[in-house]
Amino acid sequence: MPRNVEIKARVHNFEAFRQQVAAMSDTPVEIIEQLDTFYITPKGRLKLRVLAPDCCELIQYTRADDSTATTSTYEIVRSDDPASFSRILESALPIRGVVTKRRYLYHIGPTRVHLDEVEGLGTFMELEVVLLKGQTSAYGAEIAEDLMTKLGIQTEDLISGAYIDLLEKGI
C-alpha cells in the first residue's frame, strides 16, 4: 500500500508563501480545482475527488489525527465517470461532507507541496513526502521537518486531521 509522511499547517500570507515555494520547486505549479465528497466509513477516510466532469479519484486513506509529521497509507482509483462513482457511493454510504478547494501543487525533491485555498476555512499548506519501498516513516519525517524549517512553518500553525474535520468543528 502506498505511504507518505504529511504535515499540514495554516498559511497566513498565502501569496508570499506561494512565491517562496515556487522559488524552491523542481516543477512549475499545477493549479487544480478539487471537489472532495467525504463518506462516513467505519475505518479511515473515504473521499471522491472530482477534478473535472470526466475525471475523478476515489481515495481511501488512514492517518492519525496528529499535527506532527504523520504517516498516511492510501489507495487511489481513477475514473472518467464521476457521476457513476458518486451515485454508487451515495447509494451505499452516508455523505459526511464536502470540501471545495483550489490546490497549487509543487514538487520539492520527494515532497509534494500543496498550497490550498479551502472554501469556508482559509489557506493552508500540506507537505507530503512520498515514501518508496524500504524507506521508513522516520526518513520521511526528517525530510518533512527539514522542509518545514526551510519554509518557516511555525509549530503553532500546524493542524491535525483533514479539512473535513475542521469544517465540522467550525474552525
Q: What are 95-151's pLDDT values in tens digits?
A: 999 999 999 999 999 999 999 999 999 999 999 999 999 999 999 999 999 999 999
Whether pTM exceeds 0.85: yes
Q: How confident is the model at residue 62 (pLDDT cuts 50, 70, 90)?
A: confident
Provide the 10 A C-beta neighbour count for residue 17. 19
- As a whole number of angstroms, the distance between CA 166 and CA 18 comes to 22
User: In the chain, how many domains are there?
Assistant: 1
- As a whole number of angstroms, the distance between CA 54 and CA 34 comes to 13
Q: Answer yes or no: are the C-beta atoms of 147 and 9 closer than 8 Å.
A: no
- As a whole number of angstroms, the distance between CA 136 and CA 133 comes to 9
The per-residue pLDDT for 66 is 62
Provide the 10 A C-beta neighbour count for residue 98. 16
CATH number at residue 162: 2.40.320.10
- As a whole number of angstroms, the distance between CA 94 and CA 134 comes to 37
Q: Which residues pair with 125 in a beta bridge?
A: 9, 115
C-alpha cell at 138: 522516520
Q: How confident is the model at residue 71 (pLDDT cuts 50, 70, 90)?
A: confident
Domain of 76 in residue numbering reads as: 3-169
pLDDT over 80 at 65, yes or no: no
C-alpha cell at 38: 467525504
